[in-house]
Structure 1
Amino acid sequence: MGLWLGLCFGICFLTGLVSHYAQEPSHPIPFPTSPSWGYRLTQGLHVTTGTAAIPLLLVKLWTVYPRLFERLPSGELRRLRALLVTLLERASIAVLVAAAIFQLATGLMNSAQWYPWSFSFRSTHYALAWVAIGALVVHIAVKLPVIRQALGGDVESSELDRPGATEQGVLSRRGLLRTTWVAAAVAVVATAGSTVPLLRRVSVLGVRSGEGPQGVPVNKSAEAAGIGEQQVGESYRLEVVGPSGTVRLSREELLAMPQHDEELPIACVEGWSASGRWSGVRVRDLTALAGATGGEDVVVTSLQESGPFRVTTLQGNFVDDDRTLLALGLAGEPLDLDHGFPCRVIAPNRPGVLQTKWVARLEVQA
Structure 2
Amino acid sequence: MAKILFSPGKYIQGPGEIKNLGSYAAVLGKKALILISAGGKKRSGENVLSGFENVDCTAEFEIFHGECSYNEIHRIEKIVKEKECDLVIGIGGGKIFDTAKAVAYYQKTPVIICPTIASTDAPCSALSVIYSDAGVFEEYLFLPSNPNIVLLDTEIIAKSPVRLTMAGIGDALATYFEARACVESEATTCANGKATSAAFALAELCLNTLLEEGYKAKVALEAGALTPAVEKIVEANTLLSGIGFESCGLAGAHAIHNGLTVLEECHSMYHGEKVAFGTIVQLVLENVPMDELEEIIEFCISVDLPVTLKQLGVKKITEEKIRKVAELACAESDTLHNMPFEVSVESTYNAILAADAYGHRFLGK
Same fold, judged at TM 0.5 (above) = no
Normalising by structure 2, what TM-score?
0.26
- Structure 1 or 2, whichever has the larger Rg, is 1
Kindly indicate which of the two structures has a greater share of residues assigned to helix: 2
